[in-house]
A and B are shown apart, each in its own frame.
Chain A
Amino acid sequence: MQHTDNTPHSFKDEVMAEPGGELLQRCYSCGTCVSMCLVNQTCPDYNPRRTMRMVMLDMREETFRNPTIWHCSACDLCHPHCPQGIHISDLMRAIKNVALRAGYESPLPSAKVDEHKCSGCDICEKACPYGALSLAAKTIDGKERKISQVDRSLCMACGICAAACPLSAITVEDYSNEKVAAQIQAGHWLKKAKSGDPKVLVFNCSWNLRAEADRDAMSELPANVRVVNVPCSGRIDPTFVLTALQAGVARVLVAGCQPGECHYKQGTRIAQGRMHTLNHMFEQMGMDAQRVQFVQIGTEDRGRLPATILDLVAELKSSTVAVA
């Protein structure tokens, strides 16, 4: 007799019964998703193909204990390249959901809301690409207030909310305002800014450099260029830019991903809007609008970002630039 009831029998069945898990068994382990994925640049153990194999082999506990299952940010670079049409991020979501039901939690850092500072304005909820933030009633200092809350299972710690919050009530662990400032200042770079070659500050998203050679080139830039890494260009608070310019930096370059390739879905689009507003503001103030520039680097743009930075440095050298 065949099985006739549709209740899940195994871990594999359970994942496949979850929305997004249906196509699991189509995978023939070609590895396209793995090599397309940028997560394994920072987390070499991350391997969606291997995770899918583990599910297919019903390795339930081992799958859940593997911290890498939480890393997929649903950027969907892999999905259009999968020859079997598997929507890998949906599948990873399905695995996460089953893990959550089993009582496991994401070990990744997440955004944190300072309940005393939060005014409940709801801007963060609208900015979050993952729907990880929502307002909830809570008693703070004896008063019932609506404040923002983070769903840890959804948050990918991109920091878009932290940059959006008008009261700086949200922080992302490794990329708090203080830590970003420290990265800029390290070695008293800003103090030296007023002398010597015009300084260029580059805010770079962590996901737009696919080529090893490009990543190497970023660490070999001249001393008057400072590269500050942020998870996403959407983490860049316009205040960062303004502060840097005020401190004597000649140019700020913000580098994000190509639209459609953003690691955090819409971070690059949000950053584009913010930088555009800054350009506009500078223009109205009679400043050089190009003091802040925004570039979007695509996954196929080998060598483009280092070249752009060097071009900018060369351009500054050949012209006299007014420094505020």
Chain B
Amino acid sequence: MVDAARHPNITVKSYTEVKRVEGFIGNFKVLVEEKPRYVNMDRCNGCGACSPVCPIEIPNEFEEGIAPRKAIYIPHAQAVPLRYVIDEEACIHCYKCVDACGKLDAIDFSQQPRQEWLDVGSILVATGFDNFDPSVIKEYGFGRYANVITAMELERINNSAGPTAGRIMRPSDSKFPNKISFIQCVGSRDERYNLYCSGFCCMYTIKNAVQWKQTYPDADITIFYMDIRTPSKGYEEFYRRAREMGIRFIQGRPSIITEDPKTGNLFIQAEDVGLGRTIELESEMVILSTAAIPRVDTDAMGSVLNISRSPDGFFMEYHPKLRPVDSPTDGVFLCGAAQSPKDIPASVAQGSAAASRAARILNADEWEIEPIVAMVWEDRCISAQGKKCGICATKCPYGAILVETGKAAMVTAAKCHGCGGCVAECPHNAITQKHFTDAQVISQLHALLRHEPEKKVLAFMCHWCSYGGADNAGTSHFEYPASQRGLRVMCSARMDSDFIFEAFRLGAGVVLVSGCHPQDCHYITGQRVGAERFEKLTKRLVDMGISPQRFRVEWISAAEGAKYAQVIREMDQTLRQIDPQALKEEIERTRPELERRVRRLPEIPDVALALELAKATS
């Protein structure tokens, strides 16, 4: 950190918050607000004369609240920059620090928050993680039993620069605990709290145990675990070393801890799974290895940066295997535990990868994007005619569309990822998506339904998930009926109601719309745009007299080949169970209403031509 602060090309802005981000890859504008620290950065030399005279003492966050800090303080000894800051909420304005500062005259109570816009080429998010609060797990008694502490508290007690100067003592009576236990997976791998594995707790627990055992060879140390996870280089060897040192590993998740009120000792109940029997183990201190959880401000940060979260709450990567460092927004990259819990080597690796990904942008004059972006026909956009609309902008997951009444909607091509949600949602058909134009999709529809449409299962598939699922069904040899006709678009958001009306108008037997599961959507919220539309559409189709079993919505991931095949089989079965004569009658009966629904399609550029060609070749 010191090296970074000294680097001529690096500016460190500490105590500064990102307020707004505008622009796009290579051309971001970032509004930052530097909070007042009431200490002049240029004058303060970090001598520390002010802190001892401050009369205020409050819990020190860095020391996990075990030790106090003053109202004028540095967060920790290695803080960069080494400049003091005044905690305005705690300060009583006695001005003793001002006297102590003397000639340096660094203390300045007149400071105000300072905002500034920065020109930025790319953004790296390295906001880290929070620690799970184990007091919600009542059975472990954290907060009730003095000698149940967290691993982070142990780190501070164990640290020679920490509040106990490295002398290990337990909270209840300041005695040295010789018999200690560690409990793993506290709040991790637990559906009540966090389903995921926090990943690095096994290794830091073994580290703490080994360190302890090296200093105090007589110590009696037990680690309760469910699975010890040692997937990186040298980790398993380290685990073996810990066992050989005499650290006791018990496979079994403790169910309850009780305290002897007289001694403050703790009794842990767990099944030793290897033994197949319940054991009760007395310990003088218990250390909980708590889960790593997303930072509290992840949501706020995500909405500023326009990046989304995975189901576990951490920031979501563009692609879990192929682009693990990129966020869904081009030019924004993720490093370390902000993306998922990580240990130090993995954080360093991802940080380095993110830096090099970001450097590619900084060193490029031009940036290639996918050609499938949205485009507005300005003459068709009602916003240009002075009417209020802006539906397209609300549906865009990337904030790529700017709508000002009086002007046609404007797509920032560099921000558009080509989901097509805006295209399908525009009530005036004023937007199109290159390579997935209405004319192109309608041509495909007509071709697919040219012969015996009433015997076909027409399946709309999104490129990233359900098309992958269909592909997976093929490569895995999961059979499904040949009546299936697939039509690929980029996202379920692109599946326009008009396409479905047109398919039924042409007499399609059954229609499937399929896309990603909500959490897997490649376009952040594209799936949701589609899902909302299909919910309304399902009701509308029934109102129009179309049997409900003829339209189906399914979310199928790229790994769910079996599900894709199953859905198609079921739909084919459904179609076979409908009486052909009744189906024919239903198609005829609903056609006038469907025709009314799609009557404006030919107004869309090229669609009339596509329809004419389709007619000519049929």
Q: Which A residues have a C-beta under 8 Å from some C-beta of B?
A: 1-2, 4, 28-37, 40, 44, 47, 49-50, 78, 81, 83-85, 210-212, 299-300, 302-303
Contacts and interface: CB of A to CB of B under 8 A. Distances in A.
Interface string B218-236: 0000000011000000000
Interface of B: 139, 141, 185, 189-192, 226-227, 251-256, 258-262, 267, 269-273, 276-280, 478-479, 562, 565-566, 569
Nearest to B272: A31
Contacts of A78: 255
Nearest to B271: A31
A81 B434 CA distance: 54
B260 A31 contact: no
Contact of B261 (A34, A83, A302): A302
B310 to A, nearest CB: 20
A122 B335 CA distance: 68
A302 B255 CA distance: 15
B74 to A, nearest CB: 40
Contacts of A29: 273
B253 A83 contact: yes
A35 B226 CA distance: 14
A44 B258 contact: no
B191 A210 contact: no
A310 B2 CA distance: 64
A36 B273 CA distance: 13
A84 B191 contact: yes
A258 to B, nearest CB: 13
Given A81-B255, A299-B256, A35 B566 contact: no
Nearest to A81: B255
Nearest to B253: A30
A44 B277 contact: yes
A36 B255 contact: yes
B258 A211 contact: yes
B252 A30 contact: yes
A30 B270 CA distance: 9
A40 B279 CA distance: 11
Contacts of B185: 83
A263 to B, nearest CB: 16
23 contacts: A1-B478, A2-B478, A4-B569, A28-B189, A30-B226, A30-B252, A31-B255, A32-B254, A32-B255, A32-B271, A34-B271, A34-B278, A35-B255, A35-B269, A35-B278, A37-B278, A81-B139, A83-B190, A83-B253, A85-B192, A302-B259, A303-B261, A303-B262
B88 to A, nearest CB: 42
Contacts of B261: 302-303
Contacts of B190: 83-84
Nearest to B569: A4
A83 B270 contact: no
Which of A2, A37, A47, A50 has most chain B Cβ within 10 Å? A2
A310 to B, nearest CB: 14
Q: Which 7 A-B residue pairs are closest in the complex by CB-CB distance? A: A31-B271, A30-B253, A36-B255, A83-B190, A34-B271, A31-B252, A35-B255
Given A32-B255, A40-B278, A78-B255, A83 B273 contact: no
Contacts of A47: 271, 276
Given A35-B255, A302-B267, A4 B566 contact: yes
Contacts of B566: 2, 4
A50 B276 contact: yes
Contacts of B267: 211, 302
A4 to B, nearest CB: 7
B258 A302 contact: yes
A211 B280 contact: yes
A210 B256 CA distance: 10
A29 B336 CA distance: 31
Contacts of B277: 40, 44
Contact of A210 (B141, B226, B258, B273): B258
Given A34-B271, A40-B278, A211-B267, 13 more contacts: A1-B478, A4-B569, A28-B189, A28-B226, A30-B273, A31-B270, A35-B252, A44-B277, A49-B271, A78-B255, A81-B255, A83-B185, A303-B262
Given A30-B226, A40-B278, A35 B271 contact: yes
B198 to A, nearest CB: 13
A138 B529 CA distance: 66
Contacts of A40: 277-278
A81 B256 contact: yes
Contacts of A300: 141, 256, 258
A34 B251 CA distance: 13
B260 A303 contact: yes
B595 to A, nearest CB: 39
Contacts of B251: 31
Contacts of B259: 302
Contacts of B191: 83-85
A83 B478 contact: no
Contacts of B569: 4
Contact of A31 (B139, B262, B273): B273
Nearest to A44: B277
A36 B280 contact: no
Contacts of A212: 280
Nearest to B262: A303
B565 A36 contact: no
B598 to A, nearest CB: 37
Contacts of A28: 189, 226-227
A30 to B, nearest CB: 4
Contacts of A211: 258, 267, 280
